[in-house]
Amino acid sequence: MDLTKDLDRKESTLLTQLRTGHIALNSHLFCIRRSETPVCPRCGNLVVESVRHLLLACPHYQNERHIHFCHKLQRKAESLSYLLSSPDA
């Protein structure tokens, strides 16, 4: 299934980065020595800033998640695999 066929280049690139984890989040930046810590700058307290944290758990983005997932998708997104592999998401 080609998830990027209906996306423009910017959206396609973002989806690929989210799926591979090679995105400008501290978990990846720390691995490539571009960040001193893998911790979420908004949450701190040793919570790793990962794709899963950003899309499903970070309290800083709770409102955006609610707007996108509940209103636009008409459902609560609880699965990272659904978000990154479903054309509906």
Q: What kind and span of H or E run contains 15?
A: helix 9-20
With a cut of 60, say whether residue 78 has pLDDT above it: yes
* Whole-prediction pTM: 0.82
Higher pLDDT, 34 or 72: 34
Structural contact between residues 18 and 82, judged by C-beta atoms closer than 8 angstroms: no
What is the per-residue pLDDT across 42-61, written as a single tens digit (0 to 9) for each? Answer: 998 889 999 999 999 999 99
